[in-house]
Amino acid sequence: MAMVDISSKPEVFREATATGTIKLNTKTIRLIKDGKIAKGDPIYTAKIAGILAAKKTSTLIPLCHPLPLTNVEVEIEVLDKSTMQITSTVKTKAQTGVEMEALVATAISLLTIWDMVKQYEKNVKGQYPFTAIENIRVVKKIKEGVVGERKRKKT
Amino acid sequence: MAMVDISSKPEVFREATATGTIKLNTKTIRLIKDGKIAKGDPIYTAKIAGILAAKKTSTLIPLCHPLPLTNVEVEIEVLDKSTMQITSTVKTKAQTGVEMEALVATAISLLTIWDMVKQYEKNVKGQYPFTAIENIRVVKKIKEGVVGERKRKKT
Amino acid sequence: MAMVDISSKPEVFREATATGTIKLNTKTIRLIKDGKIAKGDPIYTAKIAGILAAKKTSTLIPLCHPLPLTNVEVEIEVLDKSTMQITSTVKTKAQTGVEMEALVATAISLLTIWDMVKQYEKNVKGQYPFTAIENIRVVKKIKEGVVGERKRKKT
Amino acid sequence: MAMVDISSKPEVFREATATGTIKLNTKTIRLIKDGKIAKGDPIYTAKIAGILAAKKTSTLIPLCHPLPLTNVEVEIEVLDKSTMQITSTVKTKAQTGVEMEALVATAISLLTIWDMVKQYEKNVKGQYPFTAIENIRVVKKIKEGVVGERKRKKT
Amino acid sequence: MAMVDISSKPEVFREATATGTIKLNTKTIRLIKDGKIAKGDPIYTAKIAGILAAKKTSTLIPLCHPLPLTNVEVEIEVLDKSTMQITSTVKTKAQTGVEMEALVATAISLLTIWDMVKQYEKNVKGQYPFTAIENIRVVKKIKEGVVGERKRKKT
Amino acid sequence: MAMVDISSKPEVFREATATGTIKLNTKTIRLIKDGKIAKGDPIYTAKIAGILAAKKTSTLIPLCHPLPLTNVEVEIEVLDKSTMQITSTVKTKAQTGVEMEALVATAISLLTIWDMVKQYEKNVKGQYPFTAIENIRVVKKIKEGVVGERKRKKT
């Protein structure tokens, strides 16, 4: 077991975008839209949590290299009445790609949304019968001029 | 915006279990089963990453309380020829639940699997047309004697 | 040099509140009020940064004990046309007080405001002739029933 | 809300210096000078805490970029019989400045002084009527040859 | 693989002491004693590094539980003209012991000494022919009244 | 006290290798070889812990610079019936060397082995009469083409 040795790879511009969705009760989505979540704004909190998490990727994923990220952006939108979607884009000039950083930002942002709306998603037994995080994917990876993009599919 | 004030809540035994799956190419699953992944053992690495991540939950999810976890366990199994499932269970004696810790462990374990098998999942353009993390859910939450369990559904 | 040994002290309810202010250009304060800061909402970002920092106190201040915080709250208000004030309150049930946690939350929140509005505070030479953080104080410390409060003074 | 995208900015030498003061009881300052603080040497401890904190800036201030710091120096002096001053200087070769790193080093150093002398600053009610951190400022920022300096003002 | 489940164990007072030594050139030891190490005081820096590291044990050693340490103390002495010894003692009231915390404090303190005196230990080829860390051991573990102590042996 | 200022040093390829051993009971070594350690695989867990620790070096050793590591590899072998040896190699392209990173990886890996086999090493009084970490050394340091190597000595 070992990190990939990137010592002799050139430093080039890299960018990666990852998305994911969270299923919430219709009522919860409405409360988010109306700015009525008691613990605070789930969208803003999730964005910050995602950006901070991207910067911690190499301490969370054992074999990731520490990279000098030059940009992290997390976007959150309501897809339909029971789904929110998060899209994280990370950039660097480095010897390896940043898809793991984009994925970590997306996953931690989605989990932060969950944490912010826990009280509305739990049933009387304290369980979460409906809430689910789905379809975390890498939708774009760029390596110095070579652009690849894949149609985003929804499950 | 504020953390929930749990100062006056009693410290009771808490347990939570979260699951999630990752879709991989059939070839990749076979390589994992055969112990042939070049970077190391994805299953063992993912378990450790998940356990470590559970302990960092309150620094990743902004409004989570720091909790004295008494157990974290991460189990990984091959569900079918293109799906692996991760199940994380976290325990504590504390004033609030540990579902976020179980979810963080599951999410970071799933992402670690992804990182370990990246080279087999990327296509010639460096994109990930198939790989996806799906269906992260809380499947059980226990609060001192009150047990709730929900049928695990697969998407 | 050594941590204070709190092994034989009883666990009691503790609370501490710390405040501090930041001097900003009048124009910057107006932009904050109008929600027009390009990097995002300084107030919301500062609150989250402060809460997260409070939880990291024992890794930042060498001789602080790790404590199971039960609540952290950060409030931010515009005091006058060139001053914002931050008030952080931290609670725990522990063997030692939480004034350092309240102070760390306040200091990091104030620094986060600075970071969010940097571009409006810098002059043409890239310097900050006006911006300053002032008067970080502990304004209240409570130890199980013994309440002490001090008149907040402005400098 | 988003980090500033510095992907296309050149890497140039950067330096920033931040200062701040802490008001302490005259008796406490004398104990520090005489090397009689029970918990250890506040000055040495504060310097180390400041240097370590500078390196954590991008995990404390949400929108800061991770930067490869090439130098951090923290200086502490007794300004007068009730005031200590901390001056932190940070250097890097990077795409953005290091004033936040210098400010974080200064703030955490000042808070560490407070923590080291807590027992001498608290009154019989456990409150801190006198202790205060004041006037945290950026006093110099350099960007590859362009030097700017501002007269340090005391409040 | 899994953490040991300590959920049903009682919280009792625990203490552990670990020691270790570092071999240095006679000249280096003399410089330390004379307070002439250019980077700063190795002893004081090592103590702080050890205390901070003890508090990070559960994020460094994968299966360690997060514990509410009530005391960490690191002592450093010159054993003979080419050996320094570090002794770290950690206390808690918890469901499991703190020997790993004492060992981590000792190991990181020893490594910090090394870092502080690197320039005096390197030969002209930049190698360290003499420097070595030796004999890191747990010399005492206490569990609520049950005291065990072992004769410290030097290798 | 201050970090060494490396601002004007050139970025060159650097590599360092550090080794260390742990003395364990013969019975424990046999259990490791037979894959029968109850807590999991000590070797695999130690490798991951070492790699993660190398990446945290600048937050553990106060005056270390944050460096963009391009490779970390940890190898573990059974030297004889009561000794395991760990060898960590770290690479970077940076303005200063990575021997501290290699040493931190080795030390934390060795401590992780200890943690994984604690139950087999403790005697009936809960003490560790036999277990010891020994002979942590830097065995090789490379700086852009200049190779130095030292015969590994066993104590």
Cβ neighbours, 10 Å, residue E19: 22
What CATH fold (topology level) applies to the domain B12-146? Alpha-Beta Plaits (3.30.70)
So what's the pLDDT on residue D145? 62
Chain-centre distance of CA B114, in angstroms? 13
**Is D145 part of the contact surface with chain F (CB cutoff 8 Å)?**
no
Q: What are phi and psi of A39, to 5 degrees?
A: -75, -15
**Is C64 part of the contact surface with chain D (CB cutoff 8 Å)?**
yes
Q: Given pLDDT bands bounded at 50, 70 and 90, which one contains residue B146?
A: low
- From B43, which residue of chain F is nearest by alpha-carbon distance? F44
Taking the alpha carbons of C65, C66, C72, C77 in that order, is the dihedral positive or negative? positive
Q: Is F119 helix (H, G, I), strand (E, B) or coil?
A: helix
What CATH fold (topology level) applies to the domain E12-145? Alpha-Beta Plaits (3.30.70)
Cβ neighbours, 10 Å, residue D145: 7
So what's the pLDDT on residue A47? 98
The domain covering A12-144 belongs, at the CATH homologous superfamily level, to: Molybdopterin cofactor biosynthesis C (MoaC) domain (3.30.70.640)
Give me the DSSP letters along chain E.
------TTS--EEEEEEEEEEEE--HHHHHHHHTT--TT--HHHHHHHHHHHHHHTHHHHSTTPPP--EEEEEEEEEEEETTEEEEEEEEEEEESS--HHHHHHHHHHHHHHHHHHHHHHH--TTS--SS-EEEEEEEEEEEETTEEEE------
| pLDDT tens track for E104-127 | 999 999 999 999 999 999 999 999
Pick the CATH number of F12-143 from 3.30.300.30, 3.30.70.640, 1.10.238.10, 3.40.718.10: 3.30.70.640
Residues of D in Cβ contact (< 8 Å) with F4: 71
**Is E117 part of the contact surface with chain F (CB cutoff 8 Å)?**
no
What does pTM read for this prediction?
0.94
Q: Which residues of A37-58 are buried (b: 16+ CB within 10 A; e: fewer)?
A: bebbbbbbbbbbbbbbbbbbbb
Cα B100 from Cα B62, distance rounded (Å) = 11
**Is B58 part of the contact surface with chain C (CB cutoff 8 Å)?**
yes
Please name the residue that has the structure tokens 């969370």. A60
Cα D89 from Cα D71, distance rounded (Å) = 8
Q: Which residues of D are catalytic?
A: 115
* Strands A12-23 and A83-94, bridge-based pairing: antiparallel
Q: For residue A53, give both structure tokens.
A: 């998490």
Q: Report the percentage of chain F scoring pLDDT > 70.
A: 93
Run of H or E residues at F43: helix F42-55
A·F CB contacts under 8 A: 45
What is the CATH code of the structural domain delimited by D12-147? 3.30.70.640
Amino acid at E48: I
Residue F25 in this model has a pLDDT that exceeds 70: yes
Closest Cβ–Cβ partner in A44, A49, A52 for C41: A44
Give me the DSSP letters along A101-145.
HHHHHHHHHHHHHHHHHHHHH--TTS--SS-EEEEEEEEEEEETT
Give, in order, the Cα–Cα distances in Å from A9 to each of A5, A67, A90, A94. 9, 14, 20, 9
Q: For residue D69, give both structure tokens.
A: 């710091």
Region of B145 (left: φ > 0; alpha: ψ -120 to 50; beta: rest) is left
Amino acid at A115: D
Q: For residue A49, give both structure tokens.
A: 């949590």
For residues F88-94, average pLDDT: 97
Whether B41 is a known active-site residue: answer no
List of chains touching A (3+ CB pairs within 8 A): B, C, D, F
CA geometry: angle A22, B58, B54, nearest 5 deg: 75
Cα E70 from Cα B54, distance rounded (Å) = 23
| pLDDT tens track for A75-92 | 999 999 999 999 999 999
For residues F21-35, average pLDDT: 98
In 3D space, the residue among D15, D21, D22 whose CA is nearest the CA of residue D149 turns out to be D15
Flag if F135 and E134 touch (Cβ within 8 Å): yes
So what's the pLDDT on residue C99? 98
- From F48, which residue of chain A is nearest by alpha-carbon distance? A62
- From F100, which residue of chain E is nearest by alpha-carbon distance? E115
Cα C27 from Cα A143, distance rounded (Å) = 41
ipTM score for this prediction: 0.93
10-residue averages of pLDDT along chain D (155 residues):
92 97 98 96 98 98 97 97 98 97 98 98 96 98 68 42
In 3D space, the residue among C40, F69, D8 whose CA is nearest the CA of residue A15 turns out to be D8
| pLDDT tens track for B45-86 | 999 999 999 999 999 999 999 999 999 999 999 999 999 999
Do the Cβ atoms of B45 and E62 come closer than 8 Å?
no
Q: What is the DSSP-derived secondary structure letter of residue B37?
A: -
Annotated active-site residue in A34, A41, A80, A115:
A115
Q: For residue D24, give both structure tokens.
A: 């302490």
So what's the pLDDT on residue E146? 57
